[in-house]
Amino acid sequence: MKLKGSEIICESLLREGVDVIFGHPGGAILPFYDALWGYPQLRHVLVRHEQSASHAADGYSRVTGKVGVCVATSGPGATNLVTGLMGAKADSVPMVAITGQVARTALGSEAFQECDICSIASVCTKRTYLVMSAADLAPTIREAFKVAQEGRPGPVLIDVPRDVQLELAEFEYPEIPEFAREPLSDETQASLARAAQLINEAERPVLIAGHGVLASHAWDELMELAEATGIPVINTLLGLSSFPRNHPLSLGMLGMHGMYWSNIVVDQADVVVGLGMRFDDRVTGRASTFAPHARIIHLDIEPSQVGRNVPVEVPLVGDAKVVMRSLIPLVKRVDRPQWMSYIEELKRDHPSLAIPKTDSLLAQHVLSEMNELIQENPDTVVVTGVGQHQMWAAQFLFFNGFNTFVSSGGLGAMGFELPAAMGAQVGQPGAPVWSIAGDGGIQMTSQELATVAQENLPVKIALINNGYLGMVRQWQEMFFENHLKEVPIPGPEFVKLSEAYGIPAVRVTHQEDVMPALRKAQAHEGPYLIEFVVDYSVNLYPMVPPGGSLGETMEDPLTSGARIG
């Protein structure tokens, strides 16, 4: 069967189980868009900026477990994808980006909208391909989807010259093998007994669960491991929603803005078990002082990550689900009353979620009340931007449904919140999806309100508006002698902006109006925006100072005298 290259792309995507793509057309990718006319099975979501296409594919992938797909034209269209590609690589999200390219005869001539996107994207992806023959398209796409998903997942880019999209070639798609998790290596199998011994003999152990638990859908194994051992579970930012926050063994998040008690528990632990996490600097603080009393067991699918940031006594290289399944029969339940009593004292004496008393509306008020809302429906998906609102969401929202929190962690891309929420809503059309946005971040991608309206995606937007780049302002205040430079960031009248796109909106300025607004938005069948105007001067705590250790976690001076019970 001879097909045009553009048709081969469409056929190949269908073979890979793709049903939605996020993109924006342009000259070099037009043959593909022409082919889409004959493939109504491929839903296309028209974003207003290509960066949003890659963020939307990211959000879609995280909530579905499938490979996200985004499409752009050559030159600026392709380069606009780069932020989202780098974000997906940093957070291990499987994605395939397809870009148009100038015709083969024009390559290297500085033709209109030509750029060497493969070179540009090479450090932002697992692999890039420049396909120079239509006959190579099907095997290349098959390989790209395989690479995106195998090992540590991540993005792959396929660049296709315009004339290759028009060229005829025989179409035969390579066989797709059934998915099978990689078996454990001999080295990891040998290490399991040593890991179990350390866990069983530990007096002050802790499990730290990261994004790898979600990527491998290993939340059941995490639950079984925690309950089989009685060891408390702490999450990284991207590990949130891998373990129910209401579970008695859950301690919430650790790191730069983690719970005070979580940071101190890790600082005092004698065994730390890192599960699908990288011991990133925002988790460890000063790496040389991380968990100074602990022997560390590190499980990661990527061998180069093990021991990269902190010294590891027992490396476990492999898929989190497979490794934990093999580890669980080797561990045993040990009562550690002194350790658990110490943890309860920390939680009681250092209430990290205490909210300063004030008549003003604070972001903490908003997130605290939103938490009540999501407790009613654990399937609620929350997508955040980057900044203070992101950290308050991570602190105050208790995720009890699995894989329900989406955020840009490794790259920390402002503007992520709205397009990624679009992708999440497309991926989970029956679930409530909330975008927790900052007024700085949303101004980077607010054009996607048009996409939300066009697709009638029932995304609810909680816009935390403090009129500042809040995290930057806090750092300037605390570490740069209060030299506030270029951090006030006036925006439009967000309610009017939302309504201009046909999306109803409301402005909230008082504490008593928070829950009624949240419930009204939740009940609305389509998209809805709430602008919460909050006090700009409130700082985010707990906080590990830059270059500090977890043991030096700073508490909120406005609430540090509080005590629970």
State the Cα–Cα distance between residues 404 and 415, nearest whole angstrom.
19
In this structure, what token pair is assigned to residue 428? 């989970």
Structural contact between residues 98 and 9, judged by C-beta atoms closer than 8 angstroms: yes
Give every CB contact of residue 126 below 8 A, 6+ residues apart in sequence: 89, 147, 148, 154, 155, 156
Q: What's the 3-state SS for 363-395? A: HHHHHHHHHHHHHHCCCCEEEECCCHHHHHHHH
Residue 562: predicted pLDDT: 65
**What's the rounded Cα separation, in Å, for the pair 147 and 151?**
8
At 563 the pLDDT is 59
Give every residue of the chain whose pLDDT is below 70, as ranges. Answer: 561-565
Q: Write down the pLDDT at residue 178.
A: 84
436 bridge partner residues: 384, 462
Q: Are 187 and 252 in contact (CB under 8 A)?
A: no
pTM score: 0.96
Nearest partner of 90 among 413, 435, 440, 319, judged by Cα: 413
Q: What is the pLDDT of residue 317?
A: 95
Q: Please report the pLDDT score of residue 559 as a whole number.
A: 85
Identify the helix (H) or strand (E) that includes residue 171: none
pLDDT at residue 113 in the model = 94
Q: Mapping DSSP to helix (H, G, I), strand (E, B) and coil, where does residue 433 land? A: strand
Distance set, CA 88 to CA 61, 124, 159, 246, 279 (Å): 10, 8, 18, 29, 18
Predicted local confidence at residue 220, as pLDDT: 98
CA distance 469 to 259: 23
The pLDDT, as a whole number, for residue 185 is 87
Query: CA 523 to CA 42: how far, in whole Å?
Result: 30
* pLDDT tens per residue across span 262-286: 999 999 999 999 999 999 999 999 9
Q: What is the pLDDT of residues 85-138, one digit of tens each?
A: 999 999 999 999 999 999 999 999 999 999 999 999 999 999 999 999 999 999
